[in-house]
Amino acid sequence: MRASSASASATASVWEIFIAFLTIGATSFGGVVPYLRDGLVTKRGWIDDKEFVEMLSISQSLPGLNATNMAILVGQKLQGGTGAMAAIFGICLPGGLLMYACGVFYHLHGDHAWTTAALKGVAAAAVGLILYTVVNLSQKSLSRKFDFVFMAATVLAVNRLHWSVPRALLIVGALAILFHRPGRMKANLPE
Amino acid sequence: MNQISTLARVFGFLSLLTVGGGMAAFPEMKRLTVDVHQWLTFPQLVHIYSVGQMAPGPNMMMIVVIGQWAAGLAGALVTLIAFFGPTALLAYVVGRVWKRLETWPWRRSIQEGLAPVSIGLLLAGCFTMARGAIFGLETGAIAVGTLLILLQYKVNPALLVVAGAAIGVISFLPK
């Protein structure tokens, strides 16, 4: 057991959890992770830094978005199932309402010259943003050079061979997990 | 009614593909929502995904729009529950047993093995999207510019997407 005095005793009501995640959901422009850290670790002390990093690593290995997986894990830690529900509902509500309004607006004005011109720029910038996420994640979580082979294989499988995403995930994923199997941790190359 | 159950099935399935991020599911989302069920066109999908990057909160809230266009408010709600429900349940269960898995040697293997594959899926999603977003010098320059600025400076990415909108208006508004 970890000695984390700050968080071991942390308590929060379901309502407080909802409000905390609603605030993060309404303000986290440009990516939720720093806002989660600020709101949960720094401001409220509900979890400590070590727990935050651990929960984030669970969130990243599971399917699902970091934002919603983190909401579930933190909500669960504080108030079980009800806490988890309050957290995910809170973090999704503001963005969901906003996107609903965007959908209505797009349907009404989506083909105006101004909107189409702006959307072309927005889409191009979004591509740059995803590329940045790819670079950033590669630097942080790829431990070995050979990992780039699995990464490239996944891209080729989906974009060139037109494998479905689940097929690529199962086949390349299984190979990558086997490559990283227990006891081969020290190897740098497969052979 | 039929539309609603199809939405639930499609987004429940897509939910499980979001390993490493929402973008990982993008190629399959394009196939199912655009090609198979024709709820929207590919340019529309690219647009709402991109607009979603400016919204706060989880970055795939754009799925609400697909549900809304396909089946109104009920469609939006069903899409939301179908897309976040399965992974939320999984996170809940894994969150409870994670501690016990700490000594299981394969846990690290799975985490380390899935990392490159999930980044590959993200990149594959990015390329799929680029086909609908990058066409010519201006859009290419906006994408590369955004990447370089983010690599170099600590800027809020949402601001760069807003800047992209401004550049889009300047470059593409018919004179």
How far does the CA of residue B5 sit from the closest CA of chain A (Å)?
A: 20
Across the interface, of B87, B88, B119, the residue whose CB is closest to A151 is: B119
pLDDT band at A11 (very low <50, low <70, confident <90, very high): confident
- pLDDT given at position B1: 60
Q: What is the pLDDT of residues A49-105, one digit of tens each?
A: 888 988 988 898 889 999 999 999 999 999 999 999 999 999 999 999 999 999 999
Query: Which residues of B are less than 8 Å from A169 in CB distance?
Result: 17, 19, 117, 121
Contact A76/B92 with Cβ under 8 angstroms? yes
Taking CB atoms and an 8 Å limit, are B57 and A121 in contact across chains? no
Average pLDDT, chain B: 93
> H/E/C letters for each residue in B143-156?
HHHHHHHHHHCCCC
What is the pTM assigned to this prediction?
A: 0.88
pLDDT of residue A189: 46
Query: Is the Cβ pair A180, B96 closer than 8 Å?
Result: no
Report the gap between the CA of B47 and the closest CA in chain A (Å): 6
pLDDT value, residue A188: 47
- Nearest-Cα residue of chain A relative to residue B86: A64
| Cross-chain residue pair A127–B158, CB shorter than 8 Å | no
Look at B48 and A102 and tell me if their CB atoms are within 8 Å.
yes
pLDDT digits (tens, 9 = 90+) for B90-122: 999 998 888 788 788 888 888 888 889 999 999
B116 and A150 within 8 Å at the Cβ level: the answer is yes
Per-residue pLDDT tens for B28-68?
999 999 999 999 999 999 999 999 988 999 989 999 999 99
- Which two three-digit tokens encode residue B89? 């349940």
- A96/B95 Cβ within 8 A: no
How close A114 comes to chain B (CA, Å)?
6
Tokens 């780039």: give the residue: A148
CA distance B122 to chain A (A): 7
Is A180–B112 a contact, with Cβ atoms under 8 angstroms apart? yes
Give per-residue pLDDT as tens, A99-157.
999 999 998 888 899 999 999 999 999 999 999 999 988 988 887 888 999 999 999 99
Which pLDDT score, from 0 to 100, does residue B98 have? Answer: 83
How far out from the chain centre does Cα A85 lie? 18
On the question of pLDDT at A1 being above 70, the answer is no
Arithmetic mean of pLDDT, B154-171: 92
* pLDDT confidence of residue A30: 80
Which residues are CB-contacts of A100 (< 8 A; sequence separation ≥ 6)?
A: B64, B65, B68, B76
Most A CBs within 10 A among B13, B14, B61, hence the mutation to make, goes to: B61
Q: CB–CB of A129/B164 below 8 Å?
A: no
| Between A110 and A158, residue with greater pLDDT | A158
